Copies of this chain bind each other. A is one copy, B any other.
């Protein structure tokens, strides 16, 4: 089995740097678009055969060193009974910003959604048969709270900010419920067989350091502790894009691996984090819209900046852009393989 990814996450020696790509099963792949034409986004998340097919596509096509379950960071919200229309940008059937709406949420634990996802994970592990490890994931509590309060994506996140700064107890009540649901989701994924997890705190970057410590960090930490107690051996990755000014705090969240976006040099991120965690990243996804020469040049630079790290998993600093030529995604993976041989 190619376990480079798992070893790099855990700070163990590797023969070369492992690489995967956020949103690697996505619209830049023609075979993904073909599946998407026949199935809704939600079917792709919950029908095991379809989920398995799209999850495996980038492993077959561009040779990444890890598969990531095709799913959505908002699955825990669905499991709590919130209807979400994935277009794929999420639009929620209702918002959660009153005590009554929060009280009406179902406990996620026994949701049939988790069962469907678990079936997909078991099928995936069989199909992968040890080729590469499988990553599970969920949105972090603060990120789910932002979606829940705003009813979907939002330009200025006014609703969650009104809660935080006008009704902090209500915000903490929502975060409490969401933390339980995220833990239930990840425990279920681990029981079904994922071999690493990534916690996406996609909205943490809207917070000041002080508010990150109040509204995001403790809940994310609690999730990671629960994952550890579910299975002490699997690596936990925490990724908050656009939040490099929070990296000193992020370093205390308790993950084995810190995801780094492209806005901060990897060498600088390592200075801030110290040797506490391995790092994952951090090529600007926009570079994959450019020439193969620029891609190679930037990969070489990132590998140099990662040298001596506790562990390094190469990745983009954010999801791959739908406009990316497939050959450029492949050139990225190939450049990492070629230039990182020990």
- Asked whether A165 lies within 8 Å of B245 as measured between CB atoms, the reply is no
- Interface size counted on chain A using CB atoms at 8 A: 37
A266-325 CB contacts (< 8 Å) to partner B: 268, 284-287, 289-291, 294-295, 301, 321, 323
Interface centre among A156, A166, A263, A285 (most CB of B within 10 A): A263
Indicate which residue in B206, B244, B245, B289 contacts A161 across the interface (CB closer than 8 Å): B289
CA distance A205 to B243 in the complex (A): 11
Given known A263-B205, A268-B245, contact A158–B301 (CB-CB < 8 A): no
CA distance A161 to B242 in the complex (A): 17
Instruction: Determine the chain B residues whose CB is within 8 A of the CB of A162 once the complex forms.
Output: 286, 289-290, 323
- Asked whether A165 lies within 8 Å of B290 as measured between CB atoms, the reply is yes
Given known A245-B245, A245-B263, A263-B245, contact A286–B205 (CB-CB < 8 A): no
Nearest CB of chain B from residue A324's CB, rounded to whole Å: 9
Q: Is A2 an interface residue (CB 8 A)?
A: no
Given known A210-B301, A242-B242, contact A158–B264 (CB-CB < 8 A): no
Q: Which residues of A contact B (CB under 8 A)?
A: 156-158, 161-162, 164-166, 205-211, 242-246, 262-265, 268, 284-287, 289-291, 294-295, 301, 321, 323
Q: List 17 A-B contacts (CB under 8 A).
A: A156-B286, A156-B321, A158-B289, A161-B287, A161-B289, A164-B290, A165-B286, A165-B295, A166-B289, A166-B294, A208-B262, A208-B265, A242-B242, A243-B263, A245-B245, A245-B263, A245-B268
